Structure 1
Amino acid sequence: MDAFRFSLTDEEKAFLKDLVRLRIAGRLAGREPALPEPPTAKLREPHGAFVTLTLRGRLRGCIGHIVGDRPLFATIGDMAEAAAFGDPRFAPLTREEFQDIAIEISVLSPLTPCPDPALVEVGRHGLLLRRGMRSGLLLPQVPVEWGWDRETFLGQTCRKAGLEPGCWRHPDTAISWFEAEVF
């Protein structure tokens, strides 16, 4: 896999983080916020993205869209609302929590088939694993945060899919990988 050469300026990153806050604040206030136009054409390019919300260092919501089929700024705005109010693992975000929420955005490269699990690099690659009707995805920063090695990362992606940890070795398991710009 060639290195993901997509990068954003500090201005573009700040715009996207502000967009996340505007979308969540608007929903909490029960109104559609007036959203600013993206400052650059790059933010209109189609990319998949995840929005991760943490509260005092603990996960509070994480939702993404893996396929780059819409403008990046639109995807991030929608994923902000989904992470705050639609992650089934958590109750909807409250006004009180919103003040202390930390935002992390992951802009994804296109998914491609992983030719060999031995090539997976912790901290560089994210994984999407599929077998039968089950699938699991972990972003590149997850194994770094947990201190996992490559095999643990593969096994935990299996577990995220609801499968046994060694399922990645099974010939019927499809593994795709991607990279991300995380900020």
Structure 2
Amino acid sequence: MFTDAEKRALLEIARAAVIAQVTGRLASDHGRSQDWGQTPAVRLPTGGQRDDWGQTPDVPLHTGASGAFVTLKRNGELRGCLGTLECRRPLEEEVARLAASTSHQDPRFEPVRSWELADLHFEVSVLGPLEAIDPRALDAFVIGRHGLVVEQGSRRGLLLPQVATEWKWNREEFLAHTCRKAGLPGDAWQRAASVYRFDAEVFGD
């Protein structure tokens, strides 16, 4: 579980990364330019002092996360969501990288524009490890607690736990939509596809 201070720190890092990507400035370097399309060197502010990241406490962040996703919303509508199932960097660096990428690399959306920044809301999902399940078992997963991954051959689809809650899906609908996210028929979970669940800690601003 993350503390409130850790959640605030990760959300501020995500926001600063998006601002830097969109405006071309690295917020923590007081205007020095950096290409956030590359993996940035991200740090938390130290000593609890205020700088361009905002008032962010100096807190140790968890390093055992299996994956992470960053979701952007504007006026209640999805504006981008990208993530990874394998964190290969410290979590704060992974969140910064994903936030910057989400602002301009989600193929479903146009890049975020500077005039949209004030209206953006941020959500971070930190994923636990994948667990193989038998989706036909009634206790295989819990709506609102678990996200799902469906995999068959080279195709893979993932939906975060909050998606099923937001759309008020039942178990079968959640499975079917995850299959379609993978580019598979909605009933692939009943046949050859492998299904996994994961826990996620989700928090937003």
- 1:111 corresponds, among 116, 130, 134, to 130
Paired AA for residue 27 in structure 1? Q
Asked if structure 2 preserves the Cα contact closer than 8 Å seen for 1:123 and 1:144, the reply is yes
User: How far does residue 44 in structure 1 lie from its aligned partner after superposition?
Assistant: 4.0
* Structure 1 unpaired stretches of 5+: 1-6
The 1-side partners of 2:145 and 2:198 are apart by 8
**Pairwise CA RMSD of aligned residues?**
1.5
Which piece of structure 1 moves more, 148-157 or 40-49?
Answer: 40-49
Deviations 1:40-66 (A, max 9, x none): 333444441100001111110000011
1:57 aligns with 2:76: yes
Question: Aligned pair count?
Answer: 176
Paired AA for residue 64 in structure 1? G
Aligned to 2:163: 142
Of all paired residues, the percent bearing the same amino acid is: 41
Aligned to 1:82: 101
1:70 aligns with 2:83: no
Asked if structure 1 preserves the Cα contact closer than 8 Å seen for 2:149 and 2:195, the reply is yes
Deviations 1:45-96 (A, max 9, x none): 4441100001111110000011133211111111101111110000100011
1:165 aligns with 2:172: no
TM superposition outliers: structure 1 runs of 4+ over 4 Å: none
Larger Rg: 2
- 1:151 corresponds, among 172, 184, 187, to 172
Scaled by the length of structure 2, what TM-score is found? 0.81
1:174 aligns with 2:194: yes
Scaled by the length of structure 1, what TM-score is found? 0.90
Deviations 1:6-60 (A, max 9, x none): x111111111111011111111221333254263333444441100001111110
Asked if structure 2 preserves the Cα contact closer than 8 Å seen for 1:127 and 1:177, the reply is yes
* Structure 2 unpaired stretches of 5+: 29-41, 46-57
- 1:8 corresponds, among 2, 5, 8, to 2
Aligned to 2:19: 25
Which piece of structure 1 moves more, 31-40 or 150-159?
Answer: 31-40
